């Protein structure tokens, strides 16, 4: 338990963190990796370069400070981050290192404003928060290993098959090299792939949503090739998978994880909305709904640049033909000649109002600008927050 004095001191730093939070976390990561380059084997380098990781950490630190007197309010966020930590194999011994460099960054950025009282309060608070993460993650490690077909650490899987789904998305079917069973998962969860491409000094780790319903003898991930763009380098892991992960290639995988999952305790209608490769968790949810809750009405809305970028189009059409409780709609930003879709441009509230049931549960995933557009449209339609579910690919961000 934190003393009232510590709580008051932490709360007094909330306005400062709102202004300087990302500066603090940027300094933190820079100093951390300079002194502990071995941690680059764990962290996503692309998110570091783009500033997404430091922004996410700044948000987490701010939330912890704002809720320091009611830390139970951030338990959902702790569990979400803890799932990613377990998938990345973050261990208790990493937390003291992080604490040391976080306090150092606070001192470096705030200077004399970071008084000994403030630093001591943050040291005490960090210890409590770190203990909460360690405790939550310890249970997650135990559950992942004890589950039927489960395992600890990274396990070698073989690429059994690869299927080109569109000009930019390829699916990889993965079977364990040891031939033993695999752990089941909840629709919407992801697995974590670790590779070390030639010429890369550190291992590269990425999360990929499982794009099929659970229950099979293999995992399927559907990966978008991230090409270079102005101000954005090509994706190291996605390009490695597309160019080098042929049938027979061995990849290291950690057990399924994630909190963005389909609520199957409900029987109300479901609306699934995806943009681009954000279809991966949506297809897993869709297949699961059709298989396990055939009486539940489901509407699937997908947005893509055009038909050449649209993955699994025939698969979704086949599912719709075979299941009368399902309807699907397409939105193409800039259709090609011969493309067929229900809407051109972007998804908006007016179109959604015509095609979805407002009493439904809504799940969506895709690029951040797409997610902001969908979130804004759902709020405009008056969909309550408890029926809006989403996940960011990569570090968490803000939609409003």
18 tagged catalytic:
no
Annotated ligand binding at 392? The verdict is: yes
279 is in an annotated binding site: yes
| 281 annotated ligand binder | yes
Query: Residue 323 annotated as binding?
Result: no
309 is in an annotated binding site: no
Nearest to 83, CA basis, from 128, 43, 143, 29: 143
Has 280 been labeled as part of a binding site?
Answer: yes
Residue pair 390/375 in contact (Cβ under 8 Å)? The answer is: yes
Query: Does the annotation list 275 as a binding residue?
Result: no
95 tagged catalytic = yes
Which DSSP category does 79 fall into? H
Structure tokens at 220: 């399927």
Inter-CA distances, 192 with 174, 242, 256, Å: 12, 16, 7
Is 272 known to sit in a ligand binding site? no
Is 111 labelled a binding residue?
A: no
For 12-139, list the strands marked E by DSSP.
Answer: none
HSE-CB for 315 with a 13 A CA cutoff = 18
Query: Which residue among the candidates 62, 95, 300, 329 is catalytic per the annotation?
Result: 95
Residue with tokens 């011969």: 338
Catalytically annotated residue among 101, 126, 137, 173 = 137
For the chain, report the end-to-end CA distance as a whole number of angstroms: 33
- Per the annotation, does 85 bind a ligand? yes
What is the three-state SS of 131-182? Answer: HHHHHHHHHHHHHHHHCCCCCCCCEEEEEEEEEECCCCEEEEEEEECCCCCC
Q: Residues annotated in the binding site, as ranges?
A: 85, 190, 276-281, 392-395
Q: Residues annotated in the binding site for FAD, as ranges?
A: 190, 392-395
What residues are annotated to the active site?
A: 95, 137
Q: Residues annotated in the binding site for heme b, as ranges?
A: 85
Q: Residues annotated in the binding site for NADP(+), as ranges?
A: 276-281
């Amino acid at each position: 338990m934190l003393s009232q004095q510590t709580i008051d001191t932490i709360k007094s730093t909330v306005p400062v963190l709102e202004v300087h939070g990302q500066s603090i976390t940027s300094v933190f990561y820079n100093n951390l990796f300079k002194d502990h380059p071995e941690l680059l084997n764990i962290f996503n380098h692309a998110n570091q370069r783009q500033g997404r990781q430091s922004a996410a950490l700044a948000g987490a630190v701010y939330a912890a400070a704002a809720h320091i007197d009611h830390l139970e309010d951030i338990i959902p966020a702790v569990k979400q981050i803890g799932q990613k930590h377990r998938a990345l194999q973050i261990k208790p011994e990493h937390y003291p290192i992080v604490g040391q460099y976080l306090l150092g960054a606070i001192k470096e950025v705030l200077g004399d404003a970071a008084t000994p009282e403030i630093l001591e309060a943050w040291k005490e608070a960090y210890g409590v928060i770190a203990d909460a993460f360690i405790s939550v993650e310890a249970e997650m490690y135990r559950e992942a290993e004890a589950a039927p077909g489960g395992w600890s650490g990274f396990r070698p899987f073989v690429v059994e098959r690869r299927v080109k789904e569109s000009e930019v998305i390829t699916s990889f079917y993965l079977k364990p090299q040891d031939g033993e069973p695999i752990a089941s998962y909840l629709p919407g969860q992801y697995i974590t792939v670790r590779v070390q491409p030639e010429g890369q000094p550190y291992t590269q780790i990425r999360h990929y949503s499982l794009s099929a319903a659970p229950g099979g003898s293999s995992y399927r991930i559907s990966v978008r090739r991230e090409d270079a763009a102005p101000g954005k380098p090509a994706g190291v892991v996605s390009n490695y998978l597309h160019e080098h992960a042929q049938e027979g290639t061995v990849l290291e995988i950690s057990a399924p994880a994630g909190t963005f999952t389909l609520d199957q305790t409900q029987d109300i209608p479901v609306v699934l909305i995806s943009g681009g490769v954000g279809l991966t968790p949506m297809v897993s949810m869709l297949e699961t709904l059709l298989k396990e809750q055939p009486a539940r009405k489901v509407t699937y809305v997908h947005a893509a640049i055009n038909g050449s970028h649209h993955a699994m189009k025939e698969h979704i059409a086949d599912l719709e033909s075979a299941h009368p409780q399902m309807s699907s709609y397409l939105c193409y930003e800039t259709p090609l000649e011969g493309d067929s879709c229900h809407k051109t441009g972007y998804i908006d509230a007016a179109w959604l109002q015509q095609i979805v049931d407002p009493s439904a549960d809504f799940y969506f995933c895709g690029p951040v600008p797409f997610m902001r557009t969908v979130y804004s449209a759902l709020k405009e339609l008056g969909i309550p927050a408890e029926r809006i579910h989403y996940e960011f690919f990569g570090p968490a961000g803000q939609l409003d």
